[in-house]
Structure 1
């Protein structure tokens, strides 16, 4: 295993030689965020990489994100540094089971969160992100019934905000499911000036207690524009790197999970990537994401529909 300084130089050399871009989700380790061409939320990263003239995309994220990048950049080669980087939320919605579920509600359209596999997107009418979900739902006529998948917590939150009664698929993200409200409230006593900010994938009691609820990028923006100085952050702890980098004079405390020895809540899939794997991915061109043209064509339609509705 080579040290990080040597790996970073080798990655930089390969990136130029192979005309590649490196994408890093906000939940990646700081070392990967620092060498990435783009850092951000999953869909934003896929959009930005599609706008480049790169031949190769290396996506330091999870599988569904790399799939989305391929869907939006079908002529580019897309690689994921560790093929085991799955997603508990996406995997909680198997395509065969969802197909049966959908068939039980023939008069409903499907709105699926972008955190889904390409197969689920191919069965979807409109996708959404946690940033634009309210806008997407409110754009649909009130008399049109909706299935929302796969995150029940986000679905319940959207129902409460929009007044809809969407039928929800029973899926969840292991990171956001495991936060302890009891421990958060104890932290708030220790930091009485702190604000609790939470991702809408968290369970309802956490969202009720939160001072601000928003997507990962919205949480980051809030900490930059808000006048407060201390924040307890209820989402994956990787985002704290950007929060601290952009707000060096503010204090950020990771919200604790129910069972943890480290005091933070990490996505075990996101944290599979490291600099060595980024280098290996570029050097060996392994773990390429391949999808059938049929799946890509079907999965692209609900994404493009989302772009139309959210502009």
Structure 2
């Protein structure tokens, strides 16, 4: 008899208060100089996510590091010769870097910088989910813990999720998906796959409101609407471009529009302004009917990163990402499947068609 299991109904995650680091010019200059010296002494490189502060993004690029999405952060760290990786982002990003770089020391400015999607999918509950449907292939979003990745068959990012799911669907597989229900529903629509969805969501992207977005777009009719697929279906339906962080940045750089309405974390605006300095960027609305905004358009966990905390970690130690080897090794398998798929698809060895 199949074990009884019910997917949690939209787990309630309480986001912390949004507190962004505020620095004066003199302190910023002093902190950056101190951090650069300590990084050199400790053979360290900084990788920062697009959603972190402009200060951290600038510092990463000034010191030969990387500003990117979570997967590219880990891959960059793997290719870089530095013995220490400093990951400015949220905890699952640090874990992904450690999974792919077990021989390196991986540090984070704040280990309390979590993710609502990760928190909404505890490893024991996810294991029970998989056990209840042993005939299905499990696919998890990168925004999950190392333990969840270790239990999954595949790990995907938002940029490659639809391609991998479409490939698995064409092979005849039925799927389990976790944890983001909005991204999962989007992938299900575009792939046609049979998917049972976990019910997690991102506190930032779920806050975007379709009716308010329609009103803003009416006020800026020539603006292109860019939406991350972690957003609700009603918001995605209004998009000119739906894509990952990297894909949305590329859209701002390449599309001819002068204005863009952006439905993702506003930390991405720093890189968008850098690649397209003449473009006007507008935040998609989080207010309106049904609004329950906890973080609005910026992740409160991402905001826990800052220059002060980074300097303190380098000076005093601590905040190192450690993963039990049995978990790390299993998680590496599900991540490697995605990496191998990406290489094969790029080389034309996997044909997805329309």
Q: CA deviation at 1:256?
A: 2.0
Q: Unaligned stretches of 5+ in structure 2? A: 1-22, 344-354
- 1:216-247 deviations in whole A, cap 9, x for unaligned? 10000111111111000000000011111111
Residue 45 of structure 2 corresponds to residue 13 of structure 1: no
Q: Distance in 1 between matches of 2:315 and 2:326?
A: 30
CA contact (8 A) 1:149 1:155 kept: yes
Which of 313, 335, 340 is the equivalent residue of 1:303?
335
> Which stretches of structure 1, 4 residues or more, deviate above 6 A after TM superposition?
260-263
- 1:114-136 deviations in whole A, cap 9, x for unaligned? 11100000001111111111111
Q: Distance in 2 between matches of 1:290 and 1:244?
A: 35
**CA 93–134 in structure 1, closer or farther in 2 if over 3 Å, else same:** same
Residue 48 of structure 2 corresponds to residue 24 of structure 1: yes
Q: Which residue of 2 aligns with 1:88?
A: 116
CA contact (8 A) 1:237 1:264 kept: no
CA contact (8 A) 1:254 1:264 kept: no
Q: Distance in 2 between matches of 1:52 and 1:261?
A: 39
> Partner of 1:286: helix, strand, or coil?
coil
Which of 79, 83, 87 is the equivalent residue of 1:51?
79
Q: Distance in 1 between matches of 2:157 and 2:268?
A: 17
Q: Distance in 2 between matches of 1:117 and 1:135?
A: 22
1:137-176 matches, within 5 Å, as 137-140=165-168, 141-176=170-205
Q: CA deviation at 1:167?
A: 0.9
1:103-114 matches, within 5 Å, as 103-114=131-142
CA contact (8 A) 1:135 1:310 kept: no
**CA 193–305 in structure 1, closer or farther in 2 if over 3 Å, else same:** same
Q: CA deviation at 1:263?
A: 11
Report how many residues are paired: 311
Q: Which residue of 2 aligns with 1:42?
A: 70
**CA 74–48 in structure 1, closer or farther in 2 if over 3 Å, else same:** same
CA contact (8 A) 1:128 1:306 kept: yes
Q: Which residue of 1 aligns with 2:17?
A: none
Q: Unaligned stretches of 5+ in structure 1? A: none
CA contact (8 A) 2:204 2:299 kept: yes
RMSD: 1.6
> Partner of 1:139: helix, strand, or coil?
helix
Provide TM-score, normalisation by structure 1.
0.97
- 1:92-113 deviations in whole A, cap 9, x for unaligned? 1011111111111010011111
Q: CA deviation at 1:183?
A: 1.8
Q: Distance in 2 between matches of 1:82 and 1:131?
A: 27
Provide TM-score, normalisation by structure 2.
0.85
